[in-house]
Structures are given as structure tokens and as C-alpha cells.
Amino acid sequence: MLLPRKCSFFKVVVTALLLVALLQLIYLSLLSRLHGRQQQYKYSELFEAGSARKGEAERYRWDREKRENLKHLLASGGMLDASGQYRLYRNLVRAASQAEEDAPPQQQRELVLATHATLNNLHYLRGLVERWRGPLSLALFAPSPEEVRLATLAIYALTTLCMPVRELVSFHLVCHSGDLASFPELEDRGEFARLRSCAEAFGKVANTSATQRNYALGTNISYPNNLLRNVARMAAAARFVLVTDMDMLPSEGLRPAFLALAAGRREEPGGEQAVFAVPAFEIRHARKVPVDKAELLQLYQVGEIRPFYEELCPRCQAPTNYSHWLNLPAEPSLRIAYTVAWKDPWEPFYIGPRSVPAYDERFKQYGFNRISQACELHVSGHTFHVLDNAFLVHQGFKVTGEFHAQKEAENQRNRALFRQFKQELKQKYPLSSRRC
């Protein structure tokens, strides 16, 4: 009669042991998953799909505050530009890390990257923020009422769901004077309202992008590139600004390296008249953009990277003197490699003080928009210093067949405007012996 009891007791013990083992497996699995998440958080890239889950309380607090500020700014109607053709919403969203606009720029020992875009290339912002890792000022152009609505939604989604964007990017919206931006209510937000992560937000931006390129926006719509550059540049509450195009990436660490260089030049005379040219290159679309000069040289040697505009307008970048720059001995830090005189039609990308002359906003679409500003820098007495160990890379080769149909006609119109512009500089700087 005792045998069944022993069997029953044995079964209970075995069951208990199995249950304990099962619980241990569950515990180890949960512990492993938790450890994995901790490691993912520790070593994650700047952007990752779960970024919206980090700091939920902070995000939603920011969400409420910024939503009200955004509604108030949009309700104000913005302001018209000097021509009366465009409506400007400056600092539609200001980066959390940025100083107030009215802070004295000379007290802001900072370098801001200023750029411009339409919805169709806004997706480049992800890589730009990741590479730059510092304050950015972005002027976004919306050429139609529908794109004004989508641009507002995109800005709201990116700044809400992407912590790096929220921390680093100040957005400015530019549209035609007859268009008014407004904050869409929940029922009008469509798929944007269902986004839950930074990756989803950028994915939605990429899918929402218009099919046209910046310079082919439709009949009688001109891309106001110089107006956008001015809006982004003047909103930068910093002493130094680097103005680039949206589809260009800087070399890794350019910002802190330049700030270290600038700190050693504070007491030099004529500092506000110095600008620092950053050599520009272009790379095949399939290639990863190099992080430093050593990587760039490897790609240059196999023909995967080349000077910017080498095929379309080699003279537009010739004074940079690429052959000399590429053969300079390696240096551990950023330095001024050499100084060059401006020559027509050089249009360098450069770091300069926010006090440099503005871009002439009459230049739109293709041709002479950056050359005209570089020309004025030359006439007004600025000096061009070329930086070593720093560069910009345009993502994709610039080739003739990829341009929009009206490019040459736009170039001719702007060429005539440039002739007029040069005559005006003689009156604006009557004591200058320099000419374009």
C-alpha cells in the first residue's frame, strides 16, 4: 500500500523540479533580453528604431510645449520677405541645444551648419545629423499648399520622434506669399499620427517626398536657393556658419576641429575678414562617404571620388587647387593649408562669420547664386584660407544628363543678372580695388 504513495511523492518532486527549471529558463531568457536591450542602448547608432521609447516623459512634455508654440507661430502668419513673394516662418521649431536668436553671436563660440531643402530631399537630414553631431539650421521650401501641409507635418514628426533632430535642428519654413501654413488637427494628419519611432518618421518622409527635384518644381515655380540660404544662415545663433547643400556630408569631426582652430586665432587682426574654404568632392552613389582624408584618398585613387563639379564646371572649383591639397602631408589636427585669391568663377563652400555679406536673393534656380556671393566676399576684402583635413562630399556624381530641361535657360538669365550685380558692387564698395 506504500508504493503508490512513493510514486505520487516522486511525481510531485519531479514536477516541482521541472517547474523550477522552467522558471529558471524564463528568468534567464528575460535577463538575457534585458541585457541585450541595455547593450543595444549603449552601443546604438545616433538613430535607431526604438529612439521614441527613450525618455517618454520628456518627449511628451516637449510634444505638448512645442505643439502649442508651433500653433502660435503658425497662427501669426509668419512674415513676408523683402520681395513680398515669399512667406517666412523663421524658427518654426528651434533646436533644444541652440541659444536664443537675440544672444550676441560673438559670445556664441559655435559653428552651425546651415542648409536648405524641399520635401524631396529632406531624408538626407538623417545622415547629416549623424555625421555633423552639432547644431543645424534648415530652411525648408514648400512650393504648394499641399506641400506646406506635408512640410509642417514632417517637421512636427521628426522633431517629436527623433531626439537628435529635436536637440540639434532648427527648422524654418518658406512658402509662397499666398500660402498660409497651419497646424493640422488630428483627423488631418493621416499616417503621420500613427508614427512611433524616428526610423518610421524618416521612412514616412522618404515616401512622402515629391518626385520633382529642387530645380524642377513645376511651371512658373522657382527654387529660391539664396533666400533659403540667408534664412538658414541668419537664424544661426553662433559666430561661425558653414552653408552647404542638403545632399552633402562633411568630414567626421569637422565642427570640433574647426572650433579648436578658431580658438587659437581669436586675437589675430582682421579675423572677421577671414573665411575658410572647405574642399568639396563628389562620390558615386554606391559608395560610403569617407569619414577622414585617409579614406578619401583611397577612394580618389580608384576613381570613386573626384573634385566637385569636375565634369560640369572644373573652373568653378579650380582655385581650391585640389592637386596640392591631395598631396599635403598628413597632419594630426585641422589647420590652414594655404591661402588663395578669389578668381571668377570660383564658388567655394566655406566657414565664415555670420557677419559676411548676404546672398543676393534675386538669384534663383540654376547658376551664379553662390558665385555672386563669393565675388562680393572678394570685393569686400575677405581672404580665403583653404583648410586641410576637412572636406565636403556630395552624394552622387554631377553629370550633364541628370539636370532638368530648363537648366541652360536659367543659367543664361542669371548670367545677365551677374553682369548687373558686378556693376552694382562697384557702387557698393567704391574704395575697393578688387573686381570680379
Do 148 and 192 sit in the same domain of this protein?
yes
Say if 31 falls within a structural domain: no
With respect to residue 37, please indicate whether it lies within any of the assigned structural domains.
no
Among 244, 274, 308, which residue terminates a domain?
244
Statement to judge: residues 129 and 278 lie in one domain: no
Residues 203 and 293 occupy one common structural domain = no
pTM of the full structure: 0.84
Tell me what pLDDT residue 269 has: 45
**Domain check: are 163 and 229 in the same one?**
yes
Q: What is the SS3 string spanning the chain?
A: CHHHHHHHHHHHHHHHHHHHHHHHHHHHHHHHHHHHHHHHHHHCCCCCCCHHHCCHHHHHHHHHHHHHHHHHHHHCCCEECCCCCEEEEEEEECCCCCCCCCCCHHHCCCEEEEEEECHHHHHHHHHHHHHHCCCEEEEEEECCHHHHHHHHHHHHHHHHHCHHHHHHEEEEEEEECCCCCCCCCHHHCHHHHHCCCHHHHHHHHHHHCCCCCCCCCCCCCCCCHHHHHHHHHHCCCCCEEEECCCCEEECCCHHHHHHHHHHCCCCCCCHHHEEEECCEEEECCCCCCCCCHHHHHHHHHCCCEEECCCCCCHHHCHHHCHHHHHCCCCCCCCEEEEEECCCCCCCCCEEEECCCCCCCCCCCCCCCHHHHHHHHHHHCCCEEEEEECCCEEEECCCCHHHCCCCHHHHHHHHHHHHHHHHHHHHHHCCCCCCCC
371 with 320, same domain: the answer is yes
For residue 395, tell me if it sits in a domain.
yes
Same domain? For 336 and 295 the reply is yes
pLDDT of residue 216: 59
Domain boundary among 225, 244, 263: 244
Q: Looking at the domain assignment, is residue 45 inside a domain?
A: no
Does residue 265 share a domain with residue 252? yes
In a domain, 136, yes or no: yes
Domain that holds residue 317: 247-436
C-alpha span between 81 and 402 (Å, rounded): 32
> Could you say which of 244, 277, 310 is where a domain stops?
244
The answer to the question of residue 2 being in a domain is: no
Q: How many domains does the chain have?
A: 2
The per-residue pLDDT string of the chain (436 residues; one tens digit each, 9 = 90 and over) reads 444 555 566 666 667 666 766 666 565 445 434 433 443 333 233 454 444 455 555 555 566 777 788 888 899 999 999 999 999 999 999 998 875 555 554 446 899 999 999 999 999 999 999 999 999 999 999 999 999 999 999 998 999 899 999 999 999 999 999 999 987 766 556 667 788 899 999 999 988 765 555 555 665 689 999 999 999 999 998 999 999 999 999 999 999 999 999 988 765 545 779 999 999 999 998 789 999 999 999 999 999 999 999 999 999 999 999 999 999 998 889 999 999 999 999 999 999 999 999 999 999 988 899 999 999 999 999 999 999 999 999 999 988 767 666 778 888 999 999 999 999 999 999 999 999 9
Is 289 found in the same domain as 215?
Answer: no
59 & 133 share domain: yes
In a domain, 11, yes or no: no
Question: Using CA of residue 136, residue 271, residue 384, residue 335, what is the dihedral sign?
Answer: negative
Q: Does residue 273 share a domain with residue 217?
A: no
pLDDT at 31: 44
Distance (Å, rounded) from C-alpha 91 to C-alpha 170? 6
Same domain, 215 and 278: no
What confidence score (pLDDT) does residue 1 get? Answer: 46
- Would residue 412 count as lying in a domain? yes
Q: Are residues 270 and 382 in the same domain?
A: yes
Which pLDDT value is given to residue 173? Answer: 98
